[in-house]
Structure 1
Amino acid sequence: MATRPILRTVHVGTHMLKNRVGMPALTRNRAPSTYPTDLMKEYYVQRANAGLIVSEAILITRQGTEWPNAPGIWDEKHIAGWKDIVTGVHEAGGKIFAQLWHVGRAAHPDAPEQKLAGVPVYAPTAIAARGGSSLESRDTLQYALISSSSMGYKQAALNAKQAGFDGVELHGAGGYLVNQFLDSSSNKRTDQWGGNIENRCRFGLEALKVLIEVFGRDVGVKLVPTGGYNDVGMPLEETLETYSYFISEADKLNLAYICLMRYGPKMQFEYEGVPRATKHDVVASYRHLIKNAKAFVNVDVTPEEGDQLISEGKADAIFVGFNWIPHPDLVKRIEHGKPFDNTPDLDLLYAGRGEDWSKGYTDYPPASY
């Protein structure tokens, strides 16, 4: 019997992945004071059957925090904690990229980590995101602080390399810093970092180049052209023009992959009663622009649809998101025809009750084989 498409091997960057079912970044908030733990190691090792694991979003600097218990990667203790996790994933036969994250204007000026950073909240322009944790008062990111290296991407990549990660993914989605530069609703700059499409795309492309200096081909980027979350989104024509340019230019950099987050019901957000996401067919609009990198498709992709997308050339691989939380053996279930029948505890997605953070995190049972 022929192997189904999502279970075939695929070259991504310099790595041969054992299957085409990736585990995308999934925020779980189990890193007290931003430091990785043994419990996090157990969680990732359980899921090493994925073709590629992308870590939960990792803060590249203390300044970039949005909520408590999100992990960082800016000091030696972070590096040691992540190295232990990465080693565990490798010993279990897995591959893991670090998703590098700066939240920009989504950071709260009064958050403990933000206060400890001792620097302003950075954003392309002094415009607060509606409906989020940010305050109306905002400090504009100044020209001297613009470069992706000074924002911490270069050092974060070096730290991820030291920790042994197989690659890094630039978080260019979610209405966070890279996304804020891309979007004309959050970027009102009139210098070389804003205004026309080329200038709005500059920050994200420069960030990718900085990561490539450290990881070579083993760099990916996650994009959400529909916008929505954290109050970003543009009219359809402007969206198509902006993301077509960015994806075309990013693909010239010889990346490992470009992850396209498509539109789904969970992508729609309203602010002040106005829908924010720009609904359109992301795969049809942009996949043809990806000629050198591998194309990953994310958001509500089932294994069956994944087979079809790969067979039709609409994707090289898929990321299956939410189902990885209650099904640590997800790929093995696909291989053996087992259902996704564990029910996630939605109250435990982002933290455990009391002091036992394993609940709803590492306690989901595998199927019987």
Structure 2
Amino acid sequence: MIKLFEPTKLGDIAIANRVVMAPLTRNRSPGAVPNEITATYYKQRASAGLIISEATAISHQGQGYADVPGLYTKEALDGWKKVTDGVHSQGGKIVVQMWHVGRISHNSLQPNGGKPVSSTSRIAGAKTFLVRDDGTGEYVPTSEPRALDLSEIPGIVEDYRKAARAAIDAGFDGVEVHAANGYLIDQFLRSGTNDRTDEYGGSIENRARFLFEVMDVIVKEIGAGRTGIRLSPVTPSGDSTDPQPQPLFTYVVEGLARYGLSYIHIVEGETGGARDFRQGDKPFDYDALHAAYKAAGGKAGWMVNNGYNRQMAIDAIDSGKADVVAFGKPFISNPDLVERLKLNAPLNALDTSKIYGKGGIGYTDYPTLEKVA
């Protein structure tokens, strides 16, 4: 048996294999509500050892793209319950990725048309996705944000707590805190997006304060063994920069070591892009990051992601570089990806023109090996 396909545990979550479905935004939840076709999509992919849901907003304020799901209305949570029931009916496990986009949003998506909130009032050099009145989509520049007042931060931390509880009540096996890709928590972490002069800005310790406040309340609410986190040390997504990512993320993972989390999910390189992408004056050392985490007493599963193929995944697990490997786009076009990897079978080609959109085309219509045969 190849170790990649053997069972393991991520904290309190027992999984059947070490192949993880990475979070994948698909823009098919009008009104922020997952629907029947969403349940079909995830159920088809339940052979993954663990599914991490598409990024899901913790609040209306946390919403940044049209037709992405939320965790803050009864209708959305009822929709998610159908998803989790479907995955569990196939013996799978699923966690929700908890999302607050911060400044990567547009006024039209915000409560009462207000400004998006962030660690900063500087606008991001990034775009978001809106749906026109005629139903077609378009990418538009993000709106000017406003920097959060100190008095507002506890309310957002509370939104994370409430969303974590709602996720468990909706049947999720756990949660993944989205602290990557230039969204709100990452905006606080990085010096390029955090120009605050209060206790949430300046030093690494101050910039990481918001992250740890969020982790504190979630772990207290649902337990560390059901809580994971995603980090992307060098990705430039969302116009996110930091000239010294190694000491920043070393501090972060050393702090995370005290919780006893389910897993830590690391994006290596540029999210969805080059694995050797770097910020700062030298390449990021992911092995050193892992070593620092373990030296601090961390025992969570170490999840790696970005551009892995079958052999790379096997080697990562066998060498101890990782405990589990997350695959993104291959899971879009291969609902039976685990079986294909086991057999070293060909993969369906991905139609990139249909990643985002409506209905089942490019979503639930990719064939399994059984149907190909």
Does TM, scored on the shorter chain, surpass 0.5?
Answer: yes
Matching of residue 223 in structure 1 with residue 218 in structure 2: no
Segments of 4+ in structure 1 off by > 6 A?
none
Q: Which residue of 2 aligns with 1:295?
A: 302
Q: Which residue of 351, 359, 362 corresponds with 2:361? A: 359
Q: Which residue of 2 aligns with 1:162?
A: 169
CA contact (8 A) 1:147 1:203 kept: no
CA contact (8 A) 2:103 2:144 kept: no
RMSD (Å) for aligned C-alpha atoms:
1.9
Q: Which residue of 305, 314, 317 corresponds with 2:312? A: 305
Describe how 1:62-73 pairs up with structure 2 within 5 A. 62-73=60-71
Q: Which residue of 2 aligns with 1:123?
A: 118
User: Offset of 1:186 from its aligned partner?
Assistant: 0.6
Q: Which residue of 1 aligns with 2:218?
A: 211
Q: Which residue of 2 aligns with 1:179?
A: 186
Q: Which residue of 2 aligns with 1:36?
A: 34
Q: What is the distance in 2 between the residues matched to 1:160 and 1:230?
A: 26
CA contact (8 A) 1:26 1:57 kept: yes
Query: Using a 3 Å threshold, how does the CA distance of structure 1 residues 61 and 282 change in structure 2: closer, same or farther?
Result: farther
Q: Which residue of 2 aligns with 1:349?
A: 355
Secondary structure at 1:164's aligned position in 2?
coil
Query: Using a 3 Å threshold, how does the CA distance of structure 1 residues 198 and 150 change in structure 2: closer, same or farther?
Result: closer
Q: What is the distance in 2 between the residues matched to 1:4 and 1:64?
A: 41
Q: What is the distance in 2 between the residues matched to 1:148 and 1:289?
A: 32
Q: What is the distance in 1 between the residues matched to 2:161 and 2:271?
A: 35
Matching of residue 234 in structure 1 with residue 242 in structure 2: yes
Matching of residue 337 in structure 1 with residue 344 in structure 2: yes
Secondary structure at 2:218's aligned position in 1?
helix
Sequence identity percentage: 35
Counterpart AA for 2:230: K
Q: Which runs of 5+ in 1 are unaligned?
A: 269-274
Query: Using a 3 Å threshold, how does the CA distance of structure 1 residues 175 and 264 change in structure 2: closer, same or farther?
Result: closer
Moved more, 322-331 or 120-129: 120-129
Q: Which residue of 1 aligns with 2:323?
A: 316
Counterpart AA for 1:284: D
Give the TM-score of the pair, scaled to structure 2.
Answer: 0.90
Partner deviation per Cα, 1:3-34 (whole Å, 9 max, x = no partner): 11210111101121100000010000110111
User: Offset of 1:174 from its aligned partner?
Assistant: 1.0
Q: What is the distance in 2 between the residues matched to 1:148 and 1:257?
A: 26
Q: Which residue of 93, 96, 99 corresponds with 1:95? A: 93
CA contact (8 A) 2:269 2:278 kept: no
Query: Using a 3 Å threshold, how does the CA distance of structure 1 residues 39 and 314 change in structure 2: closer, same or farther?
Result: same
Q: Which residue of 2 aligns with 1:77?
A: 75
Give the TM-score of the pair, scaled to structure 1.
Answer: 0.91
Query: Using a 3 Å threshold, how does the CA distance of structure 1 residues 146 and 81 change in structure 2: closer, same or farther?
Result: same
Matching of residue 285 in structure 1 with residue 283 in structure 2: no
Secondary structure at 1:106's aligned position in 2?
coil
User: Offset of 1:159 from its aligned partner?
Assistant: 0.8
Query: Using a 3 Å threshold, how does the CA distance of structure 1 residues 81 and 242 change in structure 2: closer, same or farther?
Result: same
Q: Which runs of 5+ in 2 are unaligned?
A: 129-140
Moved more, 31-40 or 304-313: 304-313
User: Offset of 1:227 from its aligned partner?
Assistant: 2.6
User: Offset of 1:267 from its aligned partner?
Assistant: 3.6
CA contact (8 A) 2:29 2:67 kept: yes
